[in-house]
Amino acid sequence: MGARLPAPLPAGAGGPGSRERGCEGTKPDECLRVRGALAGSSGAASVSARARAGSERPEGPEGRAAAKHDPRVLAAADTPGEPGPGTETEFATRPATRHDLPAVLATEGNSFSTPWSRRAFEALLGRETVSFLVLEEKGEVAGHGVLWWVGPEAEVANLAVAPAFRGRGGGALLLDALLAAASVRGVGKVFLEVRESNDAARSLYARRGFVPVGRRPQYYRMPPEDAVIMALDLTSDQVSDSDPTPG
């Protein structure tokens, strides 16, 4: 699938590409080049060429995949989890709108030491190569997730759940929805990064089929810590449609 890179975010937007997120610039293709190079991806070197080749609007609804602190992804206090035994949830995911931004920004500020700005999130709304979703329960925004893609590669760039809704499976639901978006659009490999010490998040990602493929020494700054780069091959049988393992 051909895909054209979304235009760079406004200067100083402080969004995709921030230091805590794993992108040194403000362009998704730069992020994916870094991921692919560290992971030894055979397609990483051609990401820029694919991005210049033209654009194609994503097709179809976001279905199930065949199957954060941080990618940035979730800190230990904001670990994406799955519901424990007997936990009742009424979560759903949907595309984010401008009206969701106040709640998104509140969750962002409660989740990350270097939160994205309003401008950054606004720049993602409606973009053809970005899936920007919110987690919702009874009409209240409970979290948000961002995935962007260029050709056959994608990155989970943001995943956060509001403090009042953590520990009930919302993070897992958001992750599954983002992976579904990637699958529908023909993405073959999804990358993310996570703090080395964030065992709970790494465990969730492993249950979804992600495997460690690289490391960025002392990548995170508050506090300093290595980032573990993880990748998921959506073309393999390791991606499951559901995972009953409680978090």
Q: Domain for residue 186, yes or no?
A: yes
Per-residue confidence at 132, pLDDT binned at 50, 70, 90? very high
Q: Domain for residue 14, yes or no?
A: no
**Each residue's pLDDT tens digit, 53-107:** 222 323 333 332 322 323 344 332 334 555 555 555 699 999 999 999 999 999 9
Q: Is the pLDDT of residue 136 over 80?
A: yes
CATH of the domain at 208: 3.40.630.30
Is 205 assigned a catalytic role? yes
Structural domain span for residue 175: 19-233
Q: Which of 82, 136, 193, 225 is catalytic?
A: 193
Q: Which of 205, 219, 220, 225 is catalytic?
A: 205
Is 153 assigned a catalytic role? no
pTM above 0.85, yes or no: no
Q: Domain for residue 224, yes or no?
A: yes
E strand segments, the chain:
91-95, 130-137, 140-150, 153-161, 189-195, 211-221, 224-233
Q: How many structural domains are present in the chain?
A: 1
CA distances (Å), origin 56, targets 47, 53, 118, 191, 216: 15, 10, 27, 21, 32
> At 201, which helix (H) or strand (E)?
helix 199-207
Q: Domain for residue 124, yes or no?
A: yes
